[in-house]
Structure 1
Amino acid sequence: MTDLEYLDRAEALLRAIESRCDELNDSTDADIDNQRVGGMITMVFPDGSQIVVNLQKPLHEVWLAARSGGYHYTFADGAWRDTKTGEEFFARLSLAASEHAGQALRFDPGAG
């Protein structure tokens, strides 16, 4: 993957997260404060816990840090996949956000 392809896909992922946070805030009481600075989104939940998603441009990866741990993703087979398990990024983000919010939340790549 070229640098430009990585940036296009990674930016689409960040936009999808931002868009979904806004949708969830409108349709649930999750109250996720999402802040973006450059290639990093910090999602802050009402209990003060955080999920951080940031781009690792030199590695062509996206990293996710949550209460459950840290995860590294590369783009493969049409999706962002965990470098160790192959798990899809939005599946893990949905699990982590649900844990942090104390309610079922769903994120998917279709937003943004």
Structure 2
Amino acid sequence: MTDPEYMDRAEALLRQVEMGCDRINEDTEADIDSQRVGGMVTLTFRNGTQIVVNLQKPLHEVWLAAKAGGYHYRFDGSRWMDTKGQGEFFENLSRQATQQAGQPLSFG
């Protein structure tokens, strides 16, 4: 993947995270605060915990840091998959957000 291809796909992922937060806030009582600075989106939950999604441009990866730990994702041609076999990005983001918010949330 070229640098421009990575940036297009990674920026699309960050936009999808932001739009997912907007949708969740409209449809639920989760009240997730989403803040974006450059290539990083920080989700802050009511209980003060955070999930951080940031771009790792030199590696062509997207990293997700949650209360449960950190995850690295690479685009496999169709989806962002964990580099250690822990599944797809949005499935894991939904799982981590559900745990931190204390209610079922879906970013898919």
1:93 aligned onto 2:93: yes
1:6-65 Cα offsets, whole Å, 9 max, x none, are: 000000000000001011101100000000000000000000000000000000000000
| Runs of 4 or more consecutive aligned structure 1 residues displaced over 2 Å after TM superposition | none
1:24 aligned onto 2:31: no
> Structure 1 residues 86 and 100, CA, compared in 2 at 3 Å: closer, same or farther?
closer
1:13 partner letter: L
Match of 2:69 in 1: 69
Distance 1:87 1:72 in 2: 10
Aligned residues, how many?
108
Measured on the aligned residues, the alpha-carbon RMSD in Å equals 0.7
Distance 1:12 1:44 in 2: 21
Structure 1: where are the runs of 5+ without partners? none
Identity %: 64
1:78-102 Cα offsets, whole Å, 9 max, x none, are: 1000001151000100000000110
2:84 partner letter: K
Match of 1:35 in 2: 35
2:34 partner letter: N
Match of 1:6 in 2: 6
Structure 2: where are the runs of 5+ without partners? none
Which one scores higher on RCO, CA 8 angstroms, separation ≥ 6?
A: 1
TM-score by length of 2: 0.98
| Other structure's SS at 1:29 match | coil
Distance 1:86 1:22 in 2: 26
TM-score by length of 1: 0.94
